Structure 1
């Protein structure tokens, strides 16, 4: 039986949470003080601790207690509760290693889901330590076929970040849990989702991918849940939504943070009830699917900012997979380059030359804001401009990767005395700084810079910033 400790100076909350979790089969203890909780933790091991941030103990608040719990029992998952949310405190606590930071009051459903997820996370983490981290040497590259029929490749890599990603996929794939995939733009989140699907028991059923960032508020409901003929202007025939298309398989919702709040509400109901109601009908259709979602922004931050429903987040986030940026896995560049060379040779129908050491050095020092997608595009350009079997040199590199540009604070060439060029350089640097700050989420970057998304795209194109 899994054990949970509740720590809150309000006995009513302790009693309520104990009642909720006990009904779910957990062994639950509680304490109304941090000092008392520490004594209990020394005598007994708990799988999870729900801890209030503002305790009445003079020297022990939720932050101090969570640190002490980590020292006493690293395998215990900690959830910090608060009635006064603060983003800075949330970030600090997450960095300290807590599992989650949640805002009171909590619903019974939320409490149960949190308990299930934190215990699952701790169980998988302990298993992860016992699994060999090195992927099979004979299969460093796994060939995948995307839902659109395009050939793509998933490169496991040999860096520590890549090995950790491989272990996470290997652990979660065989289960039926919902997964949240986090990572910057271009890191290959859809490939990870597809790999999870191909290693699951649903691998022989459909894998359906939907880009939520491209869905308008009006079309999202129809695309996801379908519609009947005549349901709205332009609905000249009935449409099956993505949930029904993915029946028995996996539905991948990319950039889920871009869904409007009302669509999030409908999505929550569908996930809870496992039935869809196409637009224009009252008929409910049962669906059996696994849901995998992805985002290039921190969904916990979106919840705290009120842009994403907390109950939907808790329902979806049964396990989180973090996809590392290319900057975190530069050791894998030779593998990626080799894989993309093979891919481009297939596309061009000819043999291509090798990348020179000078080009590799440039690759290693470049920031890769567009990550693996940008690298793939650069490789296509290099081999398109080079002749058959001729070595690829720095002369073939695009302007932003030229060594002289990388050594400067900006990649934009021009006369330093030219006021127009100085302004252009400042704009380039500002856009890159903001993009890095928001983990290359273009919608959030546009909002922070007080411009619309279309204007940002135009500037990215003008300044030759590849994302």
Structure 2
């Protein structure tokens, strides 16, 4: 029987969830505040953590590194208001399994929890192999161009850096590259670098020998050794600590690695694909990310646009996700109403494809008839916040320009006002840089 820790500072709500899950056959423990939850996680074993985002003196995100440090494979499900959707997306990036939005639908919550337990594998903790999932080609012009890039680079052995916001499908693109390569029969191993605590990252990636550090009770095979001749996908690569970046660079350069505490080395023959939602070029210049590692990983780059910038894909993917949800919930003959289609086209989709999939799944679960209506959507999608005054756009524009000006100034100072190098670091041409310098009245 699975053990679930419920964390919520709203006692009545927390106890209600606890009672519901107990009736469904789960062992549950309730924590009414962050400190109590932290203490329980440190001293007890839980199969899943269900936590509200807004806690008394912290947030549910603050629990993530604590959980992942103790056991990287423990699923964390975040409860959040839909107005905090960007927080939920960030939680996924940091290693949360999934999020559910308020008001809580019991069937949806139960489905997410059951899906989390289906993911729990008896294999060694170092092993995180992605099961093969269906890759869906978009129909927008930009998606077709991206597919051409994938088909071009896939047969080669170049390292690929996939760029894009969280939720745009970077792992699907990486797996597609693997499937179109001669390595397709070999393993594809996805590693969420954002979920790797700095204390265990080296062990997860490269393995360790028994007794090499406190808590190393047995030998452990790292991801690089496990993948052999397959493909390793390093998601959110920018979250690796500097020390781990050094070890990774050495492993890539020498095509060899060593388990912690071991004397002998093992060969690295896998293909490496990395992904990030950060600007690693800027991070490398600031010293946060090693520039030499950036160039090693970026032999070829693929940039995936956010969903809001490729409107033609929204309904196309919506129909695909609808088919999947109908199969998942054993329903049929449900369509998307015209009003919902219009809302989908207007909404910004900060969570990208992941959010669209979740909205469709939730709508199918809630749908009582043969048509998904506006009432089946979260409130914030039904009534998206609109700019209410003419001053708002100007204020947003000023914020953007201020940030851009500060970035240009900082980069110019770092390069000792070498404009060619500054433009290269910022990813723009010199003419564009000169125009921005003139526009922002930057004194040289």
- Shorter chain as denominator, the TM-score bin is 0.5 to 0.7
Partner of 2:148 in structure 1?
A: 167
Contact 2:206 2:260 in 1 (8 A): yes
Alignment of 1:261-276 (within 5 A): 261-276=242-257
- Which residue is equivalent to 1:179? 160
Matches within 5 A, 1:36-185: 152-185=133-166
**Are positions 1:358 and 2:339 aligned together?**
yes
Is this contact kept in 1: 2:178–2:231, CA < 8 A? yes
Match of 1:207 in 2: 188
Query: Does the Cα contact within 8 Å between 2:130 and 2:190 map onto a contact in 1?
Result: no
Kept in 1: contact 2:186–2:229 (CA 8 A): yes
For the residue of structure 2 that corresponds to 1:358, the secondary structure is helix
Secondary structure at 1:202 match in 2: helix
In structure 2, the CA distance between the partners of 1:149 and 1:348, relative to structure 1 (3 Å rule), is farther
1:323 aligns with 2:311: no
1:91 aligned partner: none
| Residue 190, structure 1, aligned to residue 145, structure 2 | no
Contact 2:129 2:187 in 1 (8 A): no
Write out per-residue CA displacement over residues 3-45 of structure 1, whole angstroms, 9 at most, x where no aligned residue: xxxxxxxxxxxxxxxxxxxxxxxxxxxxxxxxxxxxxxxxxxx
User: How far, CA to CA, are the matches of 2:226 and 2:129 in structure 1?
Assistant: 14
Moved over 6 A (4+): none
Number of aligned positions between the proteins:
270
| Cα deviation, residue 407, structure 1 | 3.9
Which one has a bigger Cα radius of gyration? 1
Q: Please state if 1:405 is matched with 2:384.
A: yes
Q: Provide the TM-score with structure 2 as the length reference.
A: 0.58
- Three-state SS of the structure 2 residue aligned to 1:155 is coil
CA distance change for structure 1 residues 159 and 195 in 2, over 3 Å: closer, same or farther? same
> Corresponding residue for 2:374?
394
Superposed CA offset, 1:280-319 (max 9, x none): 1111111211000000011101112211000111111100
Alignment of 1:300-449 (within 5 A): 300-388=281-369, 390-402=370-382, 404-407=383-386
| In 1, Cα distance between equivalents of 2:132 and 2:227 | 20
| Contact 1:252 1:292 survives alignment (8 Å) | yes
State the Cα distance separating 1:154 from its structure 2 match.
Answer: 2.4
Contact 1:366 1:406 in 2 (8 A): no
Residue 405 of structure 1 and its aligned partner are, at CA, apart by: 3.3
Displacement after TM superposition at 1:406 (Å): 4.1
Q: Shift of the alpha carbon at 1:149?
A: 5.8
CA RMSD of aligned residues (A): 2.3
**2:129·2:190 contact (CA, 8 Å) conserved in 1?**
no
Give me the TM-score of the superposition, normalised by structure 1: 0.55
Structure 2 gap segments, 5+ residues each = 1-127, 405-444
- The aligned residue for residue 275 of structure 2 is 294
Displacement, 1:225?
0.3
SS at match of 2:155: coil
Unaligned runs of 5+ in 1: 1-146, 411-425, 439-467
Q: Distance in 1 between matches of 2:340 and 2:321?
A: 15
Between the aligned partners of 2:132 and 2:154, the Cα distance in structure 1 is 21
